[in-house]
Structure 1
């Protein structure tokens, strides 16, 4: 994979335990890794959530191949936008990258 196609800096997070301001352990998001990616937006839609209309944007995030990314994780871009990972799709031909099928806009962070 040519590195020039990976132009977006991302942070991959997994659910875990973090400490709050008082030092208590609470559920939160823990850093897995940071990496370069290619974020694409093939579609968007609107959904009703909590009596309001929310824009849901579907995204495909391509990163270098790795085996530790799961659909239960999330991605943050360099602007702080949160992407919930819905599926991890490997490239079976070249085995150089994986695509993360994601949604943003309707998540709680």
Structure 2
């Protein structure tokens, strides 16, 4: 997709950055912080496309995985450990690829669910 139309962004996607803080016993506390949005809810408009789904064996258990591509307007505040939630499924963002024309109009988020730490 080389151009983005407003009507293409028809799905509400929650974007969150992972933050880690030390706890008093020397461990870590992981929290998920919504990205900054006008409404303050961390939700952005996106175009969600499912690429594949399968079951894999992880830690002696069968886990269903799902791969998706989520196209959103460009933003620079997503951390490498960010995640996206859509339709009740949490997706690890594996890569955020800029648009091929300007590099600053929109992002393609390569995502995968199943076996994540969300």
TM-score by length of 2: 0.76
> Runs of 5+ in structure 2 lacking a partner?
22-27, 36-41
- State the shift of 1:17 in Å: 5.5
Q: CA RMSD in A?
A: 1.9
Superposed CA deviations along residues 43-62 of structure 1, whole A, max 9, x for unmatched, are 12321012111111111000
2:16 matches 1:13: yes
2:93 matches 1:85: yes
> Runs of 5+ in structure 1 lacking a partner?
19-24
Distance 2:46 2:72 in 1: 5
The alignment of Structure 1 onto Structure 2 pairs a total of residues equal to: 102
Q: Is the 8 A contact 1:17 1:30 kept in 2?
A: no
2:75 matches 1:49: no
TM-score by length of 1: 0.82
